[in-house]
Amino acid sequence: QVQLAESGGGLVQPGGSLRLSCAASGRIFSVNTMDWYRQAPGKQRELVATITSSGITNYADFVKGRFTISRDNAKNTVYLQMNSLKPDDTAVYYCNASIWPSGGYRFRPYWGQGTQVTVSS
């Protein structure tokens, strides 16, 4: 009923840039906080950046100054602009959103399927 679909991953050289997108679709009443997480091979999933419905952002220390999270509330879409990419940024990036589905009674977390980002020369 509610789905998150990520796009924009790929292979990029160190120092390069990528822009990830995540669109929420389906029967949605309201979208609250939207986040990006990532998971590298053999590591736990970690929070990268968060943006509230009013546009307040927060970043993990390891991406501050390099990544920018933004959103388009009219499109229920969140973006992650990634600049100055490093090999350590290689991971599967997941979108997470707190969504109140139509006909529901509270906000619930929804996850996208993930998109691979590989930083390598």
Residues 74-85 have pLDDT tens digits of: 999 999 999 999
Per-residue pLDDT band for 118 (boundaries 50, 70, 90) equals: very high
Tell me what pLDDT residue 89 has.
98
Please state, in angstroms and rounded to a whole number, the distance separating the CA atoms of residues 106 and 59. Answer: 26
Please state, in angstroms and rounded to a whole number, the distance separating the CA atoms of residues 46 and 41. Answer: 12
Distance from CA of residue 43 to its chain's centroid?
Answer: 18
Per residue in 8-55, pLDDT (tens digit) is: 999 999 999 999 999 999 999 999 999 999 999 999 999 999 999 999
Mean pLDDT for the stretch of residues 65-72: 98
Distance from CA of residue 119 to its chain's centroid?
Answer: 17
Give yes or no for a contact between 85 and 21, defined as CB atoms under 8 angstroms apart. Answer: no
Tell me what pLDDT residue 101 has.
96
Tell me what pLDDT residue 24 has.
98
Contacts of 64 (CB under 8 A, 6+ apart): none
Tell me what pLDDT residue 76 has.
97
Mean pLDDT for the stretch of residues 103-108: 94
Q: How far is CA 83 from CA 48, 60, 63, in A?
A: 14, 15, 9
Tell me what pLDDT residue 25 has.
97
Token pair listed for 65:
């100054």
Q: Percent of the chain, pLDDT > 70?
A: 100
